Structure 1
């Protein structure tokens, strides 16, 4: 009898405690088979990233035994440094934040860094670098400076660098958090090909749909593995997942709302819906009464007039872009990775000046030094990782830092701090250290520090990136509250669902403006092909509605949210005198 194959990852009763007594991993045991594809889910702070760091050999536990790539690297809490060194040659990691991983000033040099440390021949290194840059669609940026790339482009460079080492075990910690729709889809395809070729994959994510392709799903909470099984098995625990701050995939949520047989498979859901029979022709011409209120101000808070900007390497980050943002409105800026979104935000904040054209912020032309300074006072800028600006001993002191620097009276500082903390829902944590907060709460704390400066305009760069479902919902509620208060909101997002919640959408593609209007106008059928070609998509609810229409349903009224889609389907069923589930006619 042939000996059993040694699993590339085996953890036995592993516990890891950070400084301050935080138990990041608590008696975790895990075995991963060769070629298995594992997906790890959990709320912010549940221990996912710590588990990823242990599996790829970056952290050694305080207790337990770890075997990686055939090496016993830690036995009963005692690390073997030489065994770790040998094992790491077969392990790869892609961090959540690319800035934690990029080490050189040239893209191709960064991708070559790992293979060079493996001592590979120069020709082999060059071949691997070219292959992996092509795989992540970054071959045109081989000679670029990573610091001049967008966050999503830097993330693709990191993924290429990890793949160039041809690891037997590849750990990916939120690899798509900064990527556009097409970028995330491309990474999922790459992961599929790697799994088919025998690479062991451990994928940490907050995108529930990404877990559907895994062989096994783990759900973590407070350092422990609470649920484990196939995607269907794990997602069948909907109430338990909701209690952990997670959610089930869109197809499962929709099937439950429509009282259809439960499924995580969107294709199966469409089959269940089938086609509605015997609809009168007049019904085909009707549209359900779905209203979308869009209250816009008449005075522009932000004016962008024929703006062109480049970073000096011959490529235009923005090319002849013009639009206005009404006062008190909420606007979403969408676009593929590298389309110019973050650059546009920096111009709106007065941090950069356009090469051509002009930007007017709250009446101040940023082309002058005085205008730029006035714009910075009017705008609150929430960067991609605002929680990194936290530093004080308590939430209250951190939020008070800005107002105190303005030399405001103590009573005014107290008023602003209290109001900002209350707005983001952290009153009960006011005297706690910001570093004891969850990931979503830390982001809200950083947002409170900006709100305490009382900006008239709030600009946010990917505010929900890297947050778990509960954190995303929490932040969306806060932004809705700010919009009600009359603050002008502008956010860059890769989430089409977040864009659909805004009053206006601005779409960029390859540094140019390609669409602007209400969500219904931008996500119209006329624009759908252009958006897909630009690496974007449309909200899931709208995509399902259009697929149903393509299968013979009458128009469903362009529903942008799940509530609107459910209402539209039920309205059609009632008018057609059928019940859910509908007749299964035609072939799926």
Structure 2
């Protein structure tokens, strides 16, 4: 019997968007049945376009495409009937769940795909219940998706795709809005689907998510730049950096410590415990393993934001925030962390005066948000960067987009020009001021939107998941900008699912199930006393701290509280040897 054909076959595919933007350029690719392929690449490299071609949403301008046994496109000419047949076996989870949710009830949305397949009512009901349970949304079956958090919406979209039981399932950045636990759960689901015979294509900017794939493909300007197993691709660190990417944390750590190359944190720990020392420790020390990398800032002493016993609930839903009290000091950076649906975005809306607490009060820069006048004053001093701020770009040029806000304040042209120049200089886009914002890379569009808010000269800048959807280069660029703002005395408040970003802040606020569970410096919040609660809340602790504690548990001397890779490397190099190395054990706190 002849082998079954590969469910995905692309041959010399080329796709050009309007304006002669080449999104895919001579891409040839074959994915076997039950293979798990991870697609990486910088923003604008063509990943989402490739995902759309594979799931039958886009037909290329040239080349051939065969999907689940159907030759859907030949020489750039689509066969519409073949596409219609193929799409019954293809599934896609979009990067933004709002592009995928179509109904006003969660269970109806999950049922939408199976209903269009003409399945019996009993089968549809069984699939809906099964997939809602798989993404931990059993209690939200009757909820309105528009009232859910971004992460909860993403889980609704994932459940809807799984309910169709596709032969090929494409995930386009499914974890960009999810917490640590949510991303881990999706990866476990992918593993089970692959074992059950589903072909998976996973687009992501999280390098760690590619480690368990069968194959990794790296795109650059629409072309396949690298391809191979995760170990093969991530061993080419210099090339990855040139492509705007990075190796996973464990791979970078093993390289810096002179250990055998591995993409596994557990592998790094096992190797150190087996050796009981760091290879070439003197060289490591002289190459720069400082014990105290993190700058120590003199924190402000004046509260810029005060939240006093604030509670809030949306109409017809349980409380989104319950009896939350906290202070944010002037000129500091604060990270707000919490599992999906814990109340983070709600807290931001309250701080911005977009919502008013049902009880308690919020004061920002001396303005009480309970009054209309107070809310108006708050909006003058706060800049709010929403999730996906680049979607608010609209003008012909970067300069006009950034100038829109200041002009609406009826400032003089001289003052508008001064603010625009300063904002563009700060975000590094001065040389792109005459370009269309829509020709910028993903990271640059995010910075352009941020510049428009900075041109309003806010005292407090509030950001909701500012690095979501950005590649490693874009995330690094944004972090540098935020560091410069912090140096200028602007109070920064950001919601993040990255414990590494939280560890870089002056203070961390942790929410769980609408309540405040921890607040303080990163070392206080990520202390051993809080670790179990953070893990139970779906957060975990920074990777460096997780590795340090596992090493200590297995016999290494106390390594302190290393919150960054630099601090961990410095602590390990300073200790040099482990007097009581032990083998076995697994990392906890993921």
Return the TM-score normalized by structure 1.
0.96
1:205 aligns with 2:173: no
- Tell me by how many angstroms 1:290 deviates: 7.2
Moved over 3 A (4+): 275-278, 288-292, 582-588
Which residue pairs with 2:39 in the alignment?
A: 40
1:454 aligns with 2:457: yes
List alignment gaps of at least 5 residues for structure 2: 278-290, 586-590
Match of 1:401 among 389, 404, 413: 404
- Tell me by how many angstroms 1:276 deviates: 7.7
1:452-478 deviation line (CA, Å, top 9, x unaligned):
000000000000000000000000000
Which residue pairs with 1:60 in the alignment?
A: 59
Which residue pairs with 1:128 in the alignment?
A: 127
1:417-469 deviation line (CA, Å, top 9, x unaligned):
00000000111111111111100000000000000000000000000000000
- Tell me by how many angstroms 1:64 deviates: 0.7
Match of 1:388 among 369, 391, 394: 391
1:202-227 deviation line (CA, Å, top 9, x unaligned):
00000101101100000000000111
Tell which deviates more after alignment, 21-30 or 268-277: 268-277
Which residue pairs with 2:484 in the alignment?
A: 481
CA contact (8 A) 1:500 1:519 kept: yes
1:490-548 deviation line (CA, Å, top 9, x unaligned):
00000000000000000000000000000000000100000011110111100100110
**Counterparts of residues 57-136 of structure 1 (less than 5 Å):** 57-136=56-135
SS in 1 for 2:420: helix
Which residue pairs with 2:284 in the alignment?
A: none
Match of 2:354 among 351, 354, 374: 351
1:535-587 deviation line (CA, Å, top 9, x unaligned):
101111001001101111121111000000000001001xx5x8xxx997544
- Tell me by how many angstroms 1:314 deviates: 3.7
CA contact (8 A) 1:275 1:551 kept: no
1:340 aligns with 2:343: yes
1:268-301 deviation line (CA, Å, top 9, x unaligned):
11111116869xxxxxxxxx76776142111111
Which residue pairs with 1:156 in the alignment?
A: 155
Seen in structure 2, the aligned counterparts of structure 1 residues 216 and 277 have a Cα distance that, compared at 3 Å, is closer
User: Equivalents in 1 of 2:82, 2:379: separation in Å?
Assistant: 52
SS in 2 for 1:213: coil
- Tell me by how many angstroms 1:18 deviates: 0.2
- Tell me by how many angstroms 1:388 deviates: 0.1
Q: How many residues align?
A: 573
Which residue pairs with 2:442 in the alignment?
A: 439
Seen in structure 2, the aligned counterparts of structure 1 residues 110 and 289 have a Cα distance that, compared at 3 Å, is closer
CA RMSD across the alignment: 1.5
Seen in structure 2, the aligned counterparts of structure 1 residues 14 and 314 have a Cα distance that, compared at 3 Å, is closer
User: Equivalents in 2 of 1:479, 1:314: separation in Å?
Assistant: 35
CA contact (8 A) 2:386 2:463 kept: yes
SS in 1 for 2:19: coil
1:303 aligns with 2:302: no
Which residue pairs with 2:288 in the alignment?
A: none
Which residue pairs with 2:229 in the alignment?
A: 230
Which residue pairs with 2:241 in the alignment?
A: 242
- Tell me by how many angstroms 1:261 deviates: 1.5
**Counterparts of residues 169-568 of structure 1 (less than 5 Å):** 169-274=168-273, 293-568=296-571
SS in 2 for 1:14: strand
